[in-house]
Amino acid sequence: MFLAVVAVLALGYPVVFSLAGVGFGFGLLGHYAGAFDLSYFNALPLRYWGILNNDVLIAVPLFILMGVMLERSGIAEDLLKTLGEVFGRMRGGLGLSVILVGSLLAASTGIVGATVTTMALISLPAMMRVGYDKRLASGLICATGSLAQIIPPSTVLVFLAVIMQTANSQVQLAKGNFVPQTLSVGDLFAAAFIPGLVLSGLYTLWVIGHIIFRPASCPAMVTHRSPGLGQRVVVALAPTLLLIIAVLGSIIAGVATPTEAASVGAMGAVLLTVVRIVGEALAPRFGAQVDRALFWWWTAMILGLVMLALLAGAAGVLTGSLVALVVASAFALSRPDTRARLVDVATQVSRQSLILTVMVFVIFLGATVFSLVFTRLGGEEVVGEFLRAMPGGADGAVLVVMAIVFVLGMFLDTFEILFIVVPIAAPILLHMDVDPVWLSIMLAVNLQTSYLTPPFGFSLFFLRGVAPPELKTSDIYRGIIPFVGLQIVCLGLLWAFPQLALWLPGVIYAH
């Protein structure tokens, strides 16, 4: 069945039809061979209803909306340009600014394609213009853009939490534990926080190594800092940091569920977009005064929200944010120029969010057909016997699954692997007493490499699509090799030191 899926995808068929078609096809073959009862397909409507009726998964379209809104609004561009001006005068500064901005965008947008494309359009020309090594520049942009898959809030972590929770409940019930410990999205968000920082740190160390040992590969950008840079840094950073704190802070602090935090994040992204559109419209007329006004706006917002948090808690912060959104939106809609821009952005964001949401969920539904047939044909038992026969017990089984996921990442998309492999392998590994939180983060970091590994690394395609002609495809492919190695190093660190993933959720949720 796995080989059939890879073959059908290689022929160019859409993922959802490939997964569902292979599932139905092998179901019919199994029926004629006497190994599969077609009545099993009657369970599909209930499975679909269970997926679409899952309250946790409501967070997915909201996080997608938040990410697309931030990408379309141009906030990412402001971050890259401003921080590039701050760090560009130091050797390797542009590379370090790409890592910082990529990490911030990962924690706010969670969309790999948007992050890679934005950084490639803005940072890559500047890096090549000052003489950066092409392989370093392309590898850095691709790898940093893929951080959106591990640094929360990540849609991969949301789906991973749902799948892993189902598997964990089944295993605990089979073991006779009728009150199994729950596994939430908040657990995985907290667990992924430190590994995400470790990856960012490894990328930073790689750039510092170039600064020390190969200084010609990452020269400084000769430029003069324009006046008012400090104010522009605050205007660029404050909105993103506020959004990250509002979303991740509310989840980790236990103030809001991931779904509630996602709705706050979507609302916050709309507010940031409205404020930026207003500033963009007023800039030609008022110039530097707009930066000053935005500086005081965000300063007042930060101080006001802190005071509301101290006086009225989360409800006060939410109320204050709603008031700010209403005021900013009313002002934007009252002006013809900003009203037209606002409607245009809202239309684009709604359409793109709908497309991305439907894409993810139909893959999930197609994978449900595949996993149903695979399980009923006895595939789960075969995989279980294979993993249990591995030398080293649970460690050997986990190592084999990680290797399989890594290899599949060269040919399949992250969500395809997530929806096919994890529901099959996770119950077997959890039955061998592997910690579900640690296993989830190991899988998440491993799945991230699928965006970089050729021949079908999507980040490579995103970069190739917008890169200038002088950047060869071979440079892109060679440039990502060290960063794939750094991701494997991160996996090794997580293997050797599981507390990198388990410490923070243990402190926050007292596991």
User: 331 and 278 in contact (C-beta within 8 Å)?
Assistant: yes
CA distance 487 to 492: 9
User: 97 and 87 in contact (C-beta within 8 Å)?
Assistant: yes
pLDDT score of 396? 92
Q: Count Cα neighbours of 497 within 13 Å in the Cβ-side half-sphere.
A: 8
CA distance 28 to 24: 6
- One digit per residue, the tens of pLDDT, for the chain of length 511 reads 888 888 888 788 888 888 899 999 999 999 999 888 999 899 889 888 888 888 888 888 888 888 888 777 777 777 777 887 787 778 888 888 889 888 888 877 667 776 787 778 878 888 888 888 989 999 999 898 888 888 888 888 888 998 898 888 888 888 777 666 778 888 898 899 999 999 999 999 999 999 999 988 888 876 666 667 778 788 888 888 888 887 887 777 777 788 888 888 888 888 888 888 887 777 777 666 777 888 888 888 888 878 887 887 767 777 887 888 888 888 888 888 788 888 888 898 899 889 888 888 888 888 889 988 988 888 888 888 888 888 888 899 999 999 999 988 887 778 888 888 888 899 999 989 899 999 999 999 998 888 888 877 788 888 888 788 888 888 888 999 999 999 999 999 999 999 999 998 888 776 4
CA distance 50 to 450: 28
Closest listed residue to residue 255, CA positions, set 316, 181, 201 = 316
pLDDT score of 498? 94
pLDDT score of 511? 46
On the 0-12 / 13-18 / 19+ scale of CB atoms within 10 A, 226 is exposed
Q: Count Cα neighbours of 331 within 13 Å in the Cβ-side half-sphere.
A: 14
Going by the DSSP 8-state scheme, the letter that residue 90 receives in this structure is S
Closest listed residue to residue 495, CA positions, set 402, 386, 432, 365 = 402
Amino acid at 436: P
pLDDT score of 22? 92
Tokens of 443: 């899988």
pLDDT score of 273? 86
User: 424 and 375 in contact (C-beta within 8 Å)?
Assistant: yes
**Neighbouring C-beta atoms of residue 52, cutoff 10 Å:** 12
User: 305 and 320 in contact (C-beta within 8 Å)?
Assistant: yes
Domain count, the chain: 1
pLDDT score of 222? 61
pLDDT score of 104? 84
User: 175 and 480 in contact (C-beta within 8 Å)?
Assistant: no
Closest listed residue to residue 261, CA positions, set 345, 156, 158, 112 = 158
CA distance 22 to 63: 31
**Containing structural domain, residue 131:** 2-509
Closest listed residue to residue 283, CA positions, set 294, 296, 272 = 294
Contacts of 452 (CB under 8 A, 6+ apart): 142, 143, 146, 459, 460, 480, 483, 484, 487
CA distance 71 to 75: 7
**Neighbouring C-beta atoms of residue 74, cutoff 10 Å:** 16
SS3 at position 421 = helix
Place of tokens 């990328």: 203
Contacts of 257 (CB under 8 A, 6+ apart): 56, 185, 186, 251
pTM for the model stands at 0.87
- Backbone φ and ψ for 367, nearest 5 degrees, come out as -65, -25
Residue-by-residue DSSP string for 273-312: HHHHHHHHHHHHHHTHHHHHHHHHHHHHHHHHHHHHHHHH
pLDDT score of 21? 92
pLDDT score of 322? 81
CA distance 269 to 450: 28
